[in-house]
Amino acid sequence: MRKLLPCLYQAHVAGLLHPAGRILGVSRSELDTAGFLEKVDSDSKIHIKQNFSEEAWASFIKRIHYLTVDVTRPEDFKALAEAVKARRETDNVVIYLSTAPKFFAPACAELANVGLNGSNVRIVLEKPLGTDLKSSQEINTDVARYFQEEQVYRIDHYLGKEALQNLLALRFANLVFEPLWNNKYVKSVQLTIAEQLGVEERGEFYDITGALRDMVQNHLMQMLCMTAMEAPKSLDADDVRDEKLKVIKSLKPLTYADVDTDVVRAQYTESKGMNGYLQERNVPAGSRTETYVAIKAEINNERWAGVPFYLRTGKRLTGKVAEIVLNFRDLPRHIFENSQAAPNRLVIELQPAESVRLYTQVKTPGAGNKVELTALSVDMGKEIQGRRAEAYERLLLDVINGKLALFNRRDELEAAWEWVMPIMENWENSSTPPHGYPADSWGPEAARNLLARNGDKWHEEQ
Ligand code: BG6
């Protein structure tokens, strides 16, 4: 209601959906199409932020139908097969499974049972795809019983963000950055996804998930891959995914001792009239679930050995921002009075704005030989023409058009799980509780200390 239908509406308005394309809403709720459309009208329309017109809306909802399908009732899948029968011989069918992880396997089995797994069928799997390496492998193995890998679209909406894709253009369509993009010139890299929201109404889901599974294993890992990967042979799906996989495989494995020193977990506490995590609805007393994670990671390859990659994410932080920061090394010598104060820095902001800023020293006007940092910057939203699609719109259109490059391959996803497993295991067996940080702050002191050890600072303190 909030993401998928509004995104399909935008694609409809932009003329990017085939005129004969149909959307079939499917869930356990006992509704008919008219009842479903009432819900769509009340719950989905309000999330359309641009290009709304009653006329376009009326033509869009003509595409929508509804069918009740309970994953435990085989007869419902027969009805589903019947509902798409007229079209499935000639057209592509996209099946989007947004469900608890335990239902992926039975849903795929039932779909296969009624023949909805032919080569023209694509299946989208929405996260969470399991809760650890083992359960994720089981899901992938079960899905693979019924669908070929090239039919499977594991979605991570961060990959649909225009600014993250722009990172590939920045790196591989320009000459000037790539020669500097390595341990010779880069001192450290910071990847941040900071949110101001708390866990809201999602306490129940969040408490069994936590920030590591919700954000690090997927979104931050993808940001890391796009930042650190080598140039792919081409932009074809497997060329890009091969390079991303190499990054994850080159990450230095964390021992339990490394987790103690290089990983910080924390929970927000009551502050400025805002609840602490433990006061949120549906969060059990004494929960140790982390709402904040900071990690110092290292990539053991030629390009990056010795450069710390700091990853962090948290809820109820002071700002909402997703960004990648490359801190360059200091100059070998200084001839201006004060230039040693601040080396160059490249900031790629994914949201809320989409921008690239290269902090560069320029001379302070007047007598004397002082310099100061100022940004050479591109604000993509303002300076580059063209409609900017929401991540989900881009990704849905890619599924419809059979483009896999922005989706995770099984080996990538499992490698990411493998890397985070020691963190999860260490926490499960640890008697040390998470750190606290006040709601509306930039996180715990321990995360500042993590960087201070190497003489580094988080971006907001630089
Ligand atoms: C989702 C997480 O995948 O990403 C949420 O489950 C989080 O907890 C969201 O709020 C953040 O996405 P975005 O696009 O708003 O940064």
Q: What is the pTM of this model?
A: 0.93
User: Could you give the number of structural domains in the chain?
Assistant: 2
Q: Which atom of ligand 1 is nearest to the CA of 219?
A: 3
Contacts of 440 (CB under 8 A, 6+ apart): 196, 271, 272, 274, 316, 317, 318
Task: Report how far ligand 1's centroid is from the alpha carbon of 347 (Å).
Answer: 21
Does 65 appear as a known binding residue? no
Domain identity same for 335 and 361 = yes
**Of 377 and 201, more confident:** 377
Span 155-160, mean pLDDT? Answer: 94
Give the count of beta carbons closer than 10 Å to the beta carbon of residue 191: 27
Whole-number pLDDT of residue 201: 81
Whole-number pLDDT of residue 91: 87
Please answer whether residues 262 and 450 qualify as being in contact, where contact means their C-beta atoms are separated by less than 8 angstroms: yes
| pLDDT, the chain, mean | 95
Whole-number pLDDT of residue 197: 94
Q: Where are the beta strands (DSSP E) in 128-179?
A: 152-154
Does 337 appear as a known binding residue? no
Domain identity same for 420 and 443 = yes
Please answer whether residues 91 and 63 qualify as being in contact, where contact means their C-beta atoms are separated by less than 8 angstroms: no
Domain identity same for 328 and 453 = yes
Domain coverage including residue 184: 159-389+409-461
Looking up tokens 């909406």, which residue turns up? 157
Q: Which atom of ligand 1 is nearest to the CA of 218?
A: 3
CATH of the domain at 94: 3.40.50.720
Task: Report how far ligand 1's centroid is from the alpha carbon of 277 (Å).
Answer: 17
One-letter amino acid at 11 equals: A
Whole-number pLDDT of residue 232: 96
Task: Report how far ligand 1's centroid is from the alpha carbon of 147 (Å).
Answer: 28
In the chain, % helix, strand, coil (3-state, to 5) comes to: 40, 20, 35
Tens digits of residue pLDDT in 93-128: 999 999 888 999 999 999 999 999 999 999 999 988
Atom 4 (ligand 1): residue with closest C-alpha?
A: 215
Identify the bridge partners of residue 458 per DSSP, sorted by sequence position. none
Residue 401 lies in a domain: no
Domain identity same for 183 and 260 = yes
Does 132 appear as a known binding residue? no
Domain identity same for 146 and 247 = no
Q: Which atom of ligand 1 is nearest to the CA of 161?
A: 14
Domain identity same for 117 and 165 = no
In order, the DSSP letters of 64-93 are EEEEE--TT-HHHHHHHHHHTHHHHTTS-E
Residue 396 lies in a domain: no
Calculate the CA dihedral of residues 192, 196, 199, 201 and round it to 10 degrees: -140
